[in-house]
């Protein structure tokens, strides 16, 4: 599990605060040097380096020439489907693969590129330069798994890093340490338990073990991802970076849209801005469908995109559909409850009652945990399909 690359990465992570917690004109260059070095050591061949840098640089230069960004974004998405090997699309179209490597952190890079390309024309032009752009895409704090920052916020933060004297180093290190415990102890433990239950279930299915699998898997995913974010946000802070929070007690959410405003928050924000909102605005302008219907359509498309973005297999497509269905359903139920209770105020008060709260949290968490099974396991095989 521990490779040379991850050892180097950890070394850099703890060395970086000494190099980067300075206000100097060289800070951005040092940061770039670290980011590029880490990318380069992850490369397996010259060809992969060429493709990676072409992928990163071409949109930067093209987006300055284009008035409408949509064509470029379409091309990026198509390129992403190919480079990230969506086998059920590529193979069914009979397109051959020309090379075998996968680009490190490509999913996250794509979403950052889209943020940059879409906003380029409307942002402060002084904030645009290649060094910022490369640091934004390749920042080693966020390249592998987010959080997904916005280009403008990232650059503003680069220009005015937090003074290290203002940082409560001890509490930050505490958070980082907890993050490591979440990753290497709690998530590792839950992961190994869930895998052994899964193996057992494949030969003999029983409901109790299935519930055990669902719980340990949900814990594994939460500890792993939130622990990772704790480490990155904390270590980033020690270097003067402000990295957005990504989790806010997600398993205490009271309905699915509440869940998505607490889980992988920066992804939800991205999807809201660049998928959900545009769809709703476009449909709402036509005034052909009621806003409720438009919303359901937009939820489905948004979570389909979210599911497919997470992984290349059909399992993720199912996961996306489940989420789209769940969020739509919870919206419809809540609208009905608001009407029955006579308004939003009464509804909010009603939801604060301990029993109602407990039921809502349990139902939401169960739905989420079941859908998360598609993330880790071949659920269809498990159910004998």
Contacts of 89 (CB under 8 A, 6+ apart): 81
The residue among 169 and 291 lying less far from another protein, judged by its C-beta, is 291
- Rounded alpha-carbon distances, angstroms, from residue 339 to 56, 343, 347, 353, 359: 50, 6, 9, 18, 20
Provide, rounded to whole angstroms, the least separation between the CB of residue 246 and another protein.
Answer: 18
Q: Is 339 among the residues that bind another protein (CB under 8 A)?
A: no
The helix (run of H) or strand (run of E) holding residue 158 is helix 151-159
Q: How far is CA 125 from CA 95, 96, 116, 189, 236, in A?
A: 40, 40, 12, 49, 26
Nearest distance, CB of residue 150 and another protein, angstroms: 9
- Which helix (H) or strand (E) is 90 found in, with range? helix 87-90
Q: Verify binding: residue 155, another protein, rule CB under 8 A.
A: no
Which of 119, 328, 330, 364 binds another protein (CB under 8 A)? It is 119
Q: Applying CB under 8 A, does 291 fall inside the site for another protein?
A: yes
Nearer to another protein, 48 or 272 (CB): 272
Question: With respect to another protein, which residue has the nearer C-beta, 276 or 316?
Answer: 276
> Any contact of residue 328 with another protein (CB under 8 A)?
no
Closest residue by Cα to residue 64 from 129, 136, 159, 139: 129
Shortest Cβ 307–another protein spacing (Å):
19
Rounded-to-integer distance, Cα 378 and Cα 368, Å: 17
For residues 186-215, which are near another protein according to CB under 8 A?
none
* 1: nearest Cα among 193, 140, 264, 191: 191
Considering the rule CB under 8 A, would residue 127 count as an interface residue with another protein? no
Q: What 8-state DSSP symbol labels residue 187?
A: I
Taking CB under 8 A as the rule, which mask of x and - marks residues 257-286 in contact with another protein? ---------------xxx-xxx-xx--xx-
Judged by beta carbon, residue 11 or residue 343, the one nearer another protein is: 343
Binding residue for another protein, selected from 65, 94, 98, 122, defined by CB under 8 A: 122
The smaller minimum CB distance to another protein, of residues 185 and 291, is found at 291
- The answer to whether 295 contacts another protein (rule: CB under 8 A) is yes
Minimum distance, C-beta of residue 272 to another protein, in the bound complex (Å): 5
Dist CA 67 CA 210 (whole Å)? 53
Q: How far apart are CA 364 and CA 373, in angstroms?
A: 15
Q: Which of 102, 293, 348, 353 binds another protein (CB under 8 A)?
A: 348
118 contributes a contact to another protein by CB under 8 A: yes
Q: For another protein, how many residues bind (rule: CB under 8 A)?
A: 17
Identify which of 124, 102, 13 has the alpha carbon closest to the alpha carbon of residue 52: 102
The 229-258 contact track toward another protein, x by CB under 8 A, reads ------------------------------
Q: By CB under 8 A, is residue 77 in contact with another protein?
A: no
Which residue, 217 or 364, is less far from another protein as judged by CB?
A: 364
Joined together, the tokens standing for residue 174 give 């505490």
- By the rule CB under 8 A, 300 interacts with another protein: no
Q: Does 3 bind another protein (CB under 8 A)?
A: no
139 near 191, Cβ under 8 Å? no
Q: Cβ 319 to another protein, closest distance in Å? A: 21
Nearer CB in complex with another protein: 159/345: 345
Element (H, E) at 40: helix 27-41
Q: What share of the chain is helix, strand, coil (3-state, %, to 5)?
A: 75, 0, 25
What CA–CA distances, in Å, run from 234 to 42, 129, 132, 154, 156?
24, 27, 22, 16, 19
Instruction: Verify binding: residue 344, another protein, rule CB under 8 A.
Output: yes
Separation CA 174–CA 357 (nearest Å) = 31
Q: Where on the chain is the footprint of another protein (CB under 8 A)? A: 118-119, 122, 272-274, 276-278, 280-281, 284-285, 291, 295, 344, 348
């Amino acid at each position: 599990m521990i490779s040379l690359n991850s050892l180097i990465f950890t070394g850099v992570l703890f060395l970086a605060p000494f190099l980067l917690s300075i206000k100097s004109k060289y800070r951005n260059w040092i940061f770039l040097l670290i980011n590029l070095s880490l990318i380069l050591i992850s490369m397996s061949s010259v060809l992969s380096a060429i493709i990676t840098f072409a992928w990163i640089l071409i949109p930067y230069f093209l987006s300055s020439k284009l008035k409408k960004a949509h064509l470029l974004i379409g091309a990026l998405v198509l390129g992403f489907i190919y480079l990230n090997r969506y086998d059920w699309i590529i193979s069914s179209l009979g397109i051959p693969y020309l090379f075998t490597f996968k680009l490190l952190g490509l999913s996250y890079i794509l979403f950052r590129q889209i943020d940059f390309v879409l906003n380029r024309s409307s942002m402060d032009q002084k904030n645009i330069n290649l060094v910022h752009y490369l640091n934004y895409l390749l920042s080693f704090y966020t390249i592998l798994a987010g959080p997904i920052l916005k280009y403008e916020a990232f650059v503003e933060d680069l220009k005015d890093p937090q003074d290290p004297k203002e940082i409560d180093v001890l509490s930050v290190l505490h958070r980082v340490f907890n993050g490591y415990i979440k990753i290497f102890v709690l998530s590792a433990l839950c992961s190994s338990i869930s895998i052994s239950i899964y193996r057992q279930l494949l030969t003999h299915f029983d409901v109790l073990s299935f519930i055990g699998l669902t719980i340990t898997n949900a814990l594994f995913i939460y500890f792993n991802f939130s622990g990772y974010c704790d480490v990155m946000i904390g270590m980033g802070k020690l270097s003067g970076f402000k990295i957005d929070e990504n989790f806010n007690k997600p398993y205490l959410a009271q309905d699915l849209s509440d869940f998505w405003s607490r889980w992988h928050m920066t992804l939800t924000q991205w999807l809201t801005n660049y998928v959900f909102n545009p769809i709703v605005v476009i449909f709402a302008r036509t005034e052909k469908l009621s806003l409720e219907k438009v919303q359901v359509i937009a939820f489905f498309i948004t979570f389909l995109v979210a599911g497919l973005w997470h992984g290349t297999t059909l399992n993720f497509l199912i996961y996306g559909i489940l989420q789209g269905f769940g969020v739509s359903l919870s919206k419809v139920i809540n609208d009905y409850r608001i009407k029955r209770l006579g308004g939003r105020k009464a509804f909010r008060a009603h939801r604060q009652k301990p029993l109602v709260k407990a039921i809502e949290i349990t139902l939401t968490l169960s739905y989420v945990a079941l859908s998360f099974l598609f993330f880790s396991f071949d659920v269809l095989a498990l159910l004998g399909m």
